Amino acid sequence: MGEFTVKSTPQHVASGDEISLRGLLQAMVDTRLIRAIDAELPALLHRMAPETRSEVWLLCALVSFQYGRGHTCIPWETFCKHADQLLGIDEGALARLSERQQKAWRTHLRALQEMSSAALLESPWIAASAGEQGVVQEAPLTWSQGRFYLTRLFLAERQVRAAVTARLQPLAFDSDVLQAAIAEVFEPDQVRVQGVIHWQSLACALAAQRPFTIITGGPGTGKTTTVVRLLAVLQRVRAGQARIQLAAPTGKAAARLTESIRDKIQELPDGLGHGIPAEVVTLHKLLGARPHRRAFLHNRHNPLQVDVVVVDEASMIDVEMMASLMDALPPQAQVILLGDKDQLASVEAGSVLGDFCAGAERGGYRKETLDLLLPYTTGDLNAFAGAGSDYNQATVMLRESHRFGADSGIGQLAGAINRGESVQSDFFERFADIQWFEGTEALDALRKLCVTGYASYLKTMQTGPIAQGASDSADTENTVQRQADIWAKQVLRAHRDFQVLVALRTGPWGISGLNETIADWLNRAGLIAQTHGWYVGRPVIVQRNNYALKLMNGDIGLTVRDPISGSLRVVFEQPDGQIKWVLPSRLADVETVYALTVHKSQGSEFTHTVLVLPDAMNPVLTRELVYTGITRASHQFTLVTPEARILAQAIQTRVIRSSGL
């Protein structure tokens, strides 16, 4: 079988030139302009139907490429006018190719841009959507409302849209009963301050009256406090019979929310915490993930037995996971999403929370939504009236930070970054809880920070648990194990005191380079005995779900010496607070994690966070990434930049993902 090639038409290159699309795509793979899998799809389809036009193969490759960048689709009109910007393949990136390859790229790209969508739809490999309910023919790509999708992403997006749309109509509710329930869980002097809008109680009022609600807000705005009070309200109006399930995308997020939920339940008036679950599970556990299978146990044919589902850190949920969640819910179940709309979107394709929350700052509440809210506030909501989207009517944005006041550098810096404001070094000098090391001082400052910061958990580890004598008594053995668990939890908690975050995986300022560098610094400081292999103090992150061990991608563990056996173990804290002890030999897909990517840090919080930006601009450096890195810090934030200009460039770069939501 020959290469899939195209004889260039005269308007593109000189007559007689033959350009191999396969060779071009392979060159783009070799130079890391696209992924290997992006070139595999057109190659596979070519083997099945070699007569198909090369423009279709290129479209397949580009839709796959965009999926890898987090987009669910290619908006055709935008692509035809601004392909370079949409794809992020500019002249600088193309310089990695030879002149002939660059010419071939422009030729193929222009030929695709000049094709009409109708001409592309003549291919059997592209299906035309039959609407929101129609059957989609089996084809790799689907065309819908001016966009080309990978078909499975189109189906996922359609599933999400349909499930949410079905939950947008308000529920019938007795206003007096709801007002009484809200009055029970909030202090009157909070809710009924004349002329003041109390957004937390309004979020409860809206969510109680809607089958689908989003509660969004920045760090410290009280999302967890609000949802605990909301659940208390729902139990009051449902006579304590609501079956409630709490979930989060990752084990770390679930563990953090479990701890927070338990604290907040204790703050409720006596008796109001009844029926509120104190344990949060991962979405994978909730839906019934099965090893080596994409499909979950729970779906529309085997739905979850729940009345209310609350999902925290919803910005991390990609479109396919959201589709699976909505598919697993019974029609009457209420859905409440919590999250910060300004954080990084999911690692996988889609920006579901961001799409739903577009325009949330303005409110955009229509008259019917204002009518639902007005009985629950003495504040003036006119400033938030408007003709917002259907999603806006189901969204409440919490606007007051209770964690970061006016004197908090972390809060002020996060706000400035989020607004796209230029930040200079003098900004950091105004606050005690933020600092910035740049230029030539960056590396040495980072070394000192790491040695001091990571000493917290490493020295806690050296203390060991309370010594116990050996005994055959089961009670004594249980006591020894309990003491070991308590000690392990203390070490894991101490590890949260300090964390280095990075933007990139490769390079001296990325995961690979900095993990080696930091290990060397700690070794030279006498805090760890070695830098490679398994050793006491090594922090590791799970890179792939391990269902046998019940460890999920993103879980972080610490290597310790088991005080009972004396051998090395890796300890993990489970979402329910229990400690899991694992032999290192059972952990295949892990890597050292002195430095953690910002993406992987979502759902976590650290006392002191150090964000390290690289010395050259990269497409992943965005305003959302910087904001997310800053908001992982609870008490102290440090920025380290070998090149100061990188911060300004990142702030001006936004994440805009193409989708149909």
pLDDT of residue 469: 46
Set out the domains of the chain in order of their start, with CATH numbers: 21-150 (1.10.10.1020), 167-398 (3.40.50.300), 409-463+477-652 (3.40.50.300)
Is 223 annotated as contributing to ligand binding?
Answer: yes
Is 218 annotated as contributing to ligand binding?
Answer: yes
Task: Provide the residue type at 639 as one letter.
Answer: L
Has residue 114 got a pLDDT over 50?
A: yes
How would residue 476 be classed by pLDDT, with cut points 50, 70 and 90? Answer: low
Q: Over the stretch 559-568, which tens digit does the pLDDT of each residue have?
A: 999 888 889 9
Has residue 6 got a pLDDT over 60?
A: no
Return the higher-pLDDT residue of 401 and 615. 615
Q: Which of 270-284, 327-341, 466-480, 612-626 has the lowest mean pLDDT?
A: 466-480
Has residue 164 got a pLDDT over 80?
A: yes
- State the Cα–Cα distance between residues 407 and 564, nearest whole angstrom: 47
> In Å, how far are 131, 330, 363, 372 from 383, measured between CA atoms?
37, 36, 8, 16
Has residue 18 got a pLDDT over 60?
A: no
Is 217 annotated as contributing to ligand binding?
Answer: yes
Has residue 8 got a pLDDT over 60?
A: no
Has residue 9 got a pLDDT over 60?
A: no
Q: Over the stretch 129-158, which tens digit does the pLDDT of each residue have?
A: 766 655 566 788 899 989 999 999 999 999
Has residue 90 got a pLDDT over 50?
A: yes
Percent of the chain residues topping a pLDDT of 90? 43
pLDDT of residue 206: 92
End-to-end Cα, the chain, rounded Å: 41
Return the higher-pLDDT residue of 179 and 326. 326
Q: In the predicted model, what is the mean pLDDT of the chain?
A: 86
Q: Write out the two tokens for 90.
A: 């500019």
Torsion over CA: 25, 31, 36, 38 (sign): negative
Return the higher-pLDDT residue of 135 and 658. 658
Has residue 324 got a pLDDT over 80?
A: yes
pLDDT of residue 443: 93
> In Å, how far are 86, 310, 331 from 94, measured between CA atoms?
15, 45, 50
Tell me if 159 sits within 8 A of 361, measured CB to CB.
Answer: no
- State the Cα–Cα distance between residues 13 and 563, nearest whole angstrom: 72
DSSP letter (8 states) at residue 104: H
Task: Please tell me the number of Cα atoms within 13 Å of 51 on its side-chain side.
Answer: 3
Region 523-547 average pLDDT: 92
Is 258 annotated as contributing to ligand binding?
Answer: no
- State the Cα–Cα distance between residues 394 and 360, nearest whole angstrom: 10
Is 222 annotated as contributing to ligand binding?
Answer: yes
Has residue 16 got a pLDDT over 70?
A: no
